[in-house]
Structure 1
Amino acid sequence: MNITRENSDALNAVVKVEITKDDYSDKVEKILTDYRKSANIPGFRKGHVPMNLVKKQYGKAVLVDEVNKLLQDAIGKYLVEEKLDVLGNPLPKPQDDLDWDADAFSFEFELGLAPEFDVKLKGKKAITHYNIVADDKMINNQVEHIQKQYGKLISQDEVSEDSEITGKFSNEDKNIENVATITLDKFKGKTNSKKFIGAKVGDIITLNTKGLFKDDHDLMAFLKVNHEDAHGLDIEVNFEVSEINKRELADLDQDLFDKLFGKGNVTSVTELKERIKTDSEKQFTQQSDQKLLNDVTEYLVEDTKFDLPAEFLQKWMQTAGEEPMSQDQAKEEFEKSEKSIRYQLIEGKLIQEHNLQVQFDDLKAYAIEMIKGQMAQFGQMNPSEKELEDIAARILSNKDEVKRLSEQLMSQKLLELYKAEANLKTKKITYDDFVKEFYS
Structure 2
Amino acid sequence: MQVTETNAEGLKRDFKVVVPAADLAAKSEARLKELSNQVKMPGFRPGKVPLSLVKKRYGQSVLGEVVEQSVQEAAEKAITENNLRPAMQPKIDLQNFSEDADLEFTISVEVLPEITPVDFATVELTRPKADVADQEIEDALKRIAESQKTNEAVTSKTRKAKEGDAVLIDFVGKKDGEEFPGGKAEGYELELGSGTFIPGFEDQVVGLKAGDQKTITVTFPEEYPAENLKGAEVTFDVTVHEIREPKVPEIDDELAKTVGMESLEALKTAVREQIQREYDNLSRQKVKRQLLDKLSDAHDFEVPPTMVDMEFDGIWKQVEQAKEQGQLDPEDEGKTDDELKADYRKLAERRVRLGLLLSEVGQKNEVQVTQEDLNRAIMAEAARFPGQEQAVFSYFMQNRGAIDQLRAPIYEDKVVDFIIEKAKVEDKPVSVDELMKQDDAEGDDAAADKPAKKKAAKKAKKAEGDAAEGDAEKAAD
- Do both proteins adopt the same fold according to a TM-score greater than 0.5, normalized to the shorter chain? yes
Return the match for 1:148 from 146, 152, 155. 146
Q: Which residue of 2 aligns with 1:342?
A: 353
Q: Structure 2 length normalisation: TM-score?
A: 0.61
Q: Which residue identity does 1:364 align to in structure 2?
A: E
Residue in 1 that maps onto 2:417: 416
Q: Deviations over 1:296-350 (max 9, x none)?
A: 44553455323334379759999xxxxxxxxx9xxx7994854432232122122
Q: 2:271 matched to 1:272?
A: no
How many correspondences in the alignment?
386
CA contact under 8 A between 1:89 and 1:316: conserved in structure 2? no
> 1:246 matched to which residue of 2?
245
**1:167-182 alignment, distance < 5 Å:** 182=191
Distance 1:357 1:119, change over 3 A: same
Aligned CA distance change for structure 1 residues 305 and 161 (closer, same or farther; 3 Å): same
**Structure 1 counterpart of 2:301:** 306
CA distance in 2, matches of 1:142, 1:234: 41
Q: Please state how far the C-alpha of 1:67 moved relative to its aligned partner.
A: 2.3
The residue type paired with residue 350 of structure 1 is V
Separation in 1, partners of 2:40, 2:8: 51
| TM-score normalized by the length of structure 1 | 0.66
Aligned to 2:193: 184
Secondary structure of the residue that 1:158 maps to in structure 2? Answer: coil
- Structure with larger RCO (C-alpha < 8 A, sep 6+): 1
The answer on whether the counterparts of 1:91 and 1:109 sit within 8 Å (CA) in structure 2 is yes
Deviations, residues 334-380 of structure 1 (Å, cap 9, x unaligned) = 9485443223212212213433233xxx43366369759978x99xx
- 2: CA distance, partners of 1:76 / 1:292: 42
Mark the CA change 1:209 to 1:285 in structure 2 (over 3 Å): closer, same or farther: farther
> In 1, Cα distance between the equivalents of 2:85 and 2:418?
24
RMSD: 5.2
How does 1:102-113 map onto structure 2 within 5 Å?
A: 102=101, 104-113=102-111
1:159 aligns with 2:167: no
Q: Which ranges in structure 2 are unaligned for 5 or more consecutive residues? A: 176-180, 314-336, 387-391, 444-453, 455-477
- The separation in 1 between residues aligned to 2:405 and 2:307, in whole angstroms, is 30
CA distance in 1, matches of 2:134, 2:51: 90
Give the 3 Å change call, closer, same or farther, for CA 315–403 of structure 1 in structure 2.
Answer: closer
Does the alignment pair 1:17 with 2:17?
A: yes
Matched, 1:354 2:365: yes
Query: Matched residues in 2 for 1:14 and 1:37: separation?
Result: 41
For the Cα contact (< 8 Å) 1:134–1:431, is it kept in 2? no
Counterpart of 1:29 in structure 2 is 29
Q: How far apart are the structure 2 equivalents of 1:313 and 1:372?
A: 32
- Partners of 2:195 and 2:139 in 1: CA distance: 16
Contact 1:152 1:249 in 2 (8 A): yes
Is the partner of 1:86 in helix, strand or coil? Answer: coil
Measured after TM superposition, the shift of residue 85 of structure 1 is: 1.9
Rounded to whole Å, the distance in 2 between the matches of 1:25 and 1:128 is: 68
Q: Which residue of the partner structure matches residue 5 of structure 1?
A: 5
Q: Which amino acid aligns with 2:417?
A: E
Deviations 1:148-169 (A, max 9, x none): 2223312355332443468899
Report the residue type matching 1:419 in the other structure. Answer: I
C-alpha distance in structure 2 between counterparts of 1:241 and 1:403, whole Å: 57
2:201/2:218 contact within 8 Å kept: no
One-letter identity of the residue aligned with 2:284: D
Query: 1:15-59 CA distances to partner (integer Å, 9 max, x unpaired)?
Result: 223323565555422321233345455676665443223323322
Counterpart amino acid of residue 428 in structure 1:
V
Structure 2: how far apart are the matches of 1:295 and 1:171? 61
Amino acid at match of 2:113: P
Contact 1:112–1:313 at 8 Å: present in 2 too? no
Aligned-partner Cα distance in 2 for 1:109–1:25: 22
- Specify whether residues 119 and 73 from structure 1 end up closer, same or farther in structure 2 by C-alpha distance, changes over 3 A only: same
**1:386 counterpart residue number:** none
SS at match of 2:421: helix
Q: What is the aligned partner in structure 2 of residue 323 from structure 1?
A: none
- Does the CA-based 8 Å contact 1:163-1:244 persist in structure 2? yes
User: Which residue of structure 2 aligns with residue 255 of structure 1?
Assistant: 254
SS where residue 360 of structure 2 aligns?
helix
